[in-house]
Amino acid sequence: MTFVVGSSCVDVLDLACVEECPVDCIYAGGRMAYVNPVECIDCGACEPVCPVEAIVPEDQVDEADAEFVGENARFFTEALPGRDEPLGNPGGAAQAGSIGADTPYVEGLAR
C-alpha cells in the first residue's frame, strides 16, 4: 500500500507534506503534489500535516478521487507535458526540485 494525494490538493499545493516525509517521496507538480508509490514507505507521516486532508492511504481513497490513485503513479511512469521521458524514481524530491508539470488529467481539471 502507498499513500495518494487527491483532488483537494489541486491548486492548493501547500507542501507541508513534503517537509514531513522522511524519505522525500512527495514531488511538487504544477498544480498539486504527487506521492511516488515506489519510493513511499507507507509511514503515514504526511497524512496528518496536510491542511486540506488530500493525502490518504491508497486503500481508503474516496470513490470521487479514485482517478488520483493512477494519476499519482502516472506522474512518475509517463512523460509529462513538456518532457521527453518519464520522471521515474529519482530518489528524492529535493534532488529533483519542483517538477512544474502535472499529468494531463490534472492539467485539464477546471480551475
What whole-number distance in Å separates Cα of residue 38 and Cα of residue 48? 21
Query: pLDDT band at 25, cuts 50/70/90?
Result: very high
Q: What is the DSSP string of 16-79?
A: HHHHH-TT--EEE-SSSEEE-TTT-----SSGGG-TT--EEEGGG--GGGTHHHHHHHHHHHSP
Query: pLDDT band at 1, cuts 50/70/90?
Result: confident
What whole-number distance in Å separates Cα of residue 69 and Cα of residue 95? 24
Q: pLDDT tens-digit profile of 41-76?
A: 999 999 999 999 999 999 999 999 999 999 999 999
Which CATH architecture does the domain made up of 3-107 adopt?
Answer: 2-Layer Sandwich (3.30)
Q: pLDDT tens-digit profile of 75-95?
A: 999 999 999 999 999 999 999
Q: What pLDDT score was predicted for residue 111?
A: 84
